Structure 1
Amino acid sequence: MITIHETPLFPETYPLDRLGKREDLLFFDIETTGFSGEYSNLYLVGCVYYEGGRWNLVQWFADTVSAEKEVLITFFEFLKRFPIVVHFNGDGFDIPYLLKRCRAYDLPYDFSGVTSLDIYKKIRPYRNLLGLESMKQKAIEQFLGVEREDIYSGGQLIEVYKDYLFSHEQVLLDMLLLHNADDLRGMPGILPILNYPDYLEHSFTLVDQELLTRNDLFGREYHALKLIYQSDYTVPVPFSRSSSVADLEAKGGQLTASVDLYEGELKYFYPDYKNYYYLIYEDRAIHKSVAEYVDREARIKATAKTCYTRRDGSYLPQFAPIFEPVLQKEYKDRITYFPYDDRQFAEQERNGGYVRHLLDYLCSK
């Protein structure tokens, strides 16, 4: 086994105290000859940790196939010093792979004593919202403007490792170590991506609202509501997202939403339609206790589709029936609405419930 140690400089562009004490954090990444822990081998484990007032990078490299067991033992013994492991998709690949290799050698190691923080899992729910092309580490680095030297993928380096086992050429070893080291150097570099879950998962405060007048393609006027929110957290790179009825833009600690208002008549559907009659000539439903006084020819038993009353006003769209009362254009429409009143809305929106609803919807698109 070959051990490489260096003390690189890592700019701390994310508040590490949100993760834990600096000295408690162990960033790690592995390199393997395949995806299956049963039928391939581990050949490299790299770690970044803070000790002695500086960042350290250590790599354990299996220079022979038989050195794999030594790499595993060395890593897991080293792991005992740290309560928190930080990684990129380690929950999905690295950790299960290491456990399978331990079982192959009947080694008694696991991750039960540590907290696992997977950067991939933290950011995955927001991929669509942020417009990430993929969830690979390199894609996130590009989103944040992080540059790397390495031009090879882990899959491409499998053949390089096989060639190294045959030739032991230094240039091949350098290629293998560089790829792993760049992933490790890049991991603290991509930590600012965690600002997005921090930002999106905490409360927003409504600081301003403005009713805008716009024109559609045919020159007809309509109104849109501009909502400005403030967060205690900030995003390093602005992002925006649009749908047919709402636009969102995040910059720094501010989030701006522009939502088209529906102005006119909508239907409120009563849930217990069996207790209502539909008035044919008035196009509305009334409770059976009142309907008994209406001419039988002017009423029929209501169905779920006809059990409604009409209401006129200004409404905000919603994509699940969260805000009451729920109104619709037609029964079972996917987009529903709730009444908008500037004063009442400002009072209700202290903690950003509506904009969070919009964010959840745009995350799922």
Structure 2
Amino acid sequence: MKTITKDIRLKVDYDLKNIGAPEKTIFFDIETTGLSPENSELYIIGVLVPQINAKSNTLPDTVYFKLTQFFSESISDELDLVNSFFAMLDECEVLVNFNGDSFDIPYIKKVCRHYNIKHPFEKIKSVDIYKTARRKRAVINSFRFNQKSLEQFLGVERRDDFNGKELIDIYNLYLKNYEYNFFEPLVLHNEEDITGLVQLLPILSYSDFTEGDFKFSSKIINKDCFEVAFKSEYRIPKPFSLKNDLYSVNGKDNIIIIRCCPYHGEAKFFFENYKDYYFLPLEDMAVHKSIGRFVDKSARENASKSTAYTKKNSTFIPACMGCGLKTFYKKYNDSVGYFELHDFDFNNNSLVKSFIKGILSMFGLVY
């Protein structure tokens, strides 16, 4: 087994404290000759450790990292690779990876079962950048979600041009004669996969941004337009724009802007406990039976689901889930509901968060 170490200086455009203690965070990536340990081998484990003072309250934009790569020169080295990797995880609390939850970690676990050794993954938090990117694909303008495509989305450049299949062939050639010309592209690819994890950290900002808290910033409300801007403590690396039949949403930097066309007119609020109401046809409204019992029987009837309503003329905006506001409808069984604009308190941070979450859920960004 070869061990390669290198000091690397990288720009970090993400606050590592958002995912855990920076000094206990490790980035890792593996290279294998196939997808399953049953018929393939593990030939590189690369580890990147930030050199950060645990007592520091603020982190610099540029951080020094220690890169360590464990390289297998024969199948007999596989156990040494794994044990050397585990030795570096003694103080680790956060393990940053790309698709590691689905590939790297399960692969190593199977290797551990083969050699009958224990693994430390149960006590370590995994931060899988790929999983976050997939969940936020509506706002990430990338046709593919492999690591190189997401790096291109963020403007990250690589020297390595090889794909996984080509690297397997190169590794097999290296095992025949151990020439440096074959060794170099193998470790370069792994190095750029790991340093790429640091450069991909801003992808996590989309999760922080869409799932975090917002505060009211500004609004434009008139006859034809409802436009409200909210501010987040998180910043996203690239802007996004979303639109459906009800709302448009734009995110840029730390601002999210939500727009819709208000509805001015009559809408109905339907009571769920309709059996407790009388419908008054002449007034075209429902009243609770405790009051309706005083109305002449000829002027009242038991309310049904479709007649247990009160009406209101006002200004409304399309409703979303989870806000806790009264929802009005133009007619019974309409798919689109409405909130009365008068009920919306823009300074109620809890309501603002629920409103934004409800809007973003329309686009599959929060669940």
Counterparts of 2:156 and 2:85, CA distance in 1: 28
* Larger strand share, 1 or 2: 1
Residues in 2 aligned to 1:251 and 1:57: alpha-carbon distance in whole angstroms:
34
Partner of 2:255: 254
Partner residue, 1:193 = 203
Secondary structure of the 1:93 match is helix
Matched, 1:323 2:333: no
Instruction: Work out which of the residue numbers 69, 72, 92 in structure 2 matches 1:62.
Output: 72
Q: Which amino acid aligns with 2:99?
A: N
Q: Which amino acid aligns with 2:189?
A: H
Structure 1 residues 201-210 or 97-106, which shifts more?
A: 201-210
* CA shift for structure 1 position 19: 3.5
Unaligned runs of 5+ in 1: 214-222
Q: Which moved more, 1:323-332 or 1:70-79?
A: 323-332
CA apart distance, 1:167: 4.6
Greater Cα offset, 91-100 or 284-293: 284-293
TM-score normalized with structure 1 length:
0.86
Unaligned runs of 5+ in 2: 53-62
Change in Cα spacing, 1:130 to 1:212, as seen in structure 2 (3 Å) is: farther
Alignment of 1:110-125 (within 5 A): 110-125=120-135
Distance in 2, Cα, partners of 1:362 & 1:129:
9
**Which residue of the other structure, out of 104, 107, 126, is the alignment partner of 2:136?**
126
The question of whether the paired residues in 2 share the 8 Å contact of 1:31 and 1:43 is answered with yes
Report what 1:137 is aligned to.
147
Paired residues for 1:172-251 under 5 Å: 172-213=182-223, 223-251=224-252
Contact 1:212 1:226 survives alignment (8 Å)? no
Secondary structure of residue in 2 paired with 1:56:
strand
CA distance in structure 2 between the partners assigned to 1:247 and 1:44 by the alignment: 46
For 1:241 and 1:288, how far apart are their aligned partners in 2? 46
- Asked if the contact 1:84/1:116 (under 8 Å) is kept, the reply is yes
Aligned-pair Cα RMSD in Å:
2.7
- Secondary structure of the residue aligned to 1:10 is strand
Could you give the per-residue CA deviations for residues 175-229 of structure 1, whole angstroms, max 9, x where no partner exists? 222221111111111112222222233221112211145xxxxxxxxx2211121
CA contact (8 A) 1:320 1:335 kept: no
Q: Summarize deviations over 1:152-174 as a string: whole Å, max 9, x none.
A: 33244333333433454433322
Output the CA distance in 1 between the equivalents of 2:118 and 2:232.
Answer: 46
Superposed, which structure 2 residues align to 1:1-365 within 5 Å? Answer: 1-51=1-51, 54-213=64-223, 223-280=224-281, 283-289=284-290, 290=292, 293-294=295-296, 296=298, 300-320=301-321, 322-341=323-342, 345-348=345-348, 352-353=352-353, 354-364=355-365
- Identity over aligned pairs, percent: 34
Alpha-carbon distance in structure 1 between the residues aligned to 2:185 and 2:38: 26
Q: Deviations over 1:65-84 (max 9, x none)?
A: 22212211211122224333
Aligned counterparts of 2:198 and 2:285: Cα–Cα separation in 1 = 62
Return the alpha-carbon distance in structure 2 between the equivalents of residues 47 and 105 of structure 1: 22
1-side partners of 2:182 and 2:194: how far apart? 19
Note closer, same or farther for the CA distance 1:38–1:307 as it changes in structure 2 (3 Å cut): farther
The change in CA–CA distance for 1:184 and 1:321 in structure 2 (over 3 A counts) is: closer
Instruction: Tell me by how many angstroms 1:118 deviates.
Output: 2.3
AA at the equivalent of 1:60: F
Contact 2:20 2:93 (8 Å CA) reproduced:
no
Give the total of aligned pairs: 354
Structure 2 letter corresponding to 1:72: V
SS at match of 1:59: strand
Distance 1:28 1:264 in 2: 58
Of residues 125-134 and 242-251 in structure 1, the stretch that sits farther from structure 2 once superposed is 125-134
Q: 1:205·1:350 contact (CA, 8 Å) conserved in 2?
A: no
| Distance across 2 between alignment mates of 1:347 and 1:23 | 38
After TM superposition, where is structure 1 displaced by more than 4 Å over at least 4 residues in a row? Answer: 279-283
Instruction: Give the Å deviation of 1:359.
Output: 2.2
Distance 2:159 2:229 in 1: 40
Amino acid at match of 1:305: S
Q: Closer, same or farther in 2 for the Cα pair 1:281/1:168, shift >3 Å?
A: farther
Aligned letter for 2:214? Answer: F
Provide, for residues 62-117 of structure 1, a one-character-per-residue CA deviation record: whole Å limited to 9, x for no partner.
12122212211211122224333221221222111111101101122332343322
Instruction: Tell me whether 274-283 or 70-79 shows the greater mean CA deviation.
Output: 274-283
1:42 shift after superposition: 1.2
- Local SS of the residue matching 1:95: helix
CA deviation profile, 1:263-297 (whole Å, cap 9, x unmatched): 1111211111223344456544344451673454x
Q: Secondary structure at the match of 2:233?
A: strand
Is contact 1:99-1:110 (8 Å) kept? no
Q: 3-state DSSP class of the match of 1:70?
A: helix
Residue type of the alignment partner of 2:33: T
The separation in 2 between residues aligned to 1:78 and 1:149, in whole angstroms, is 27
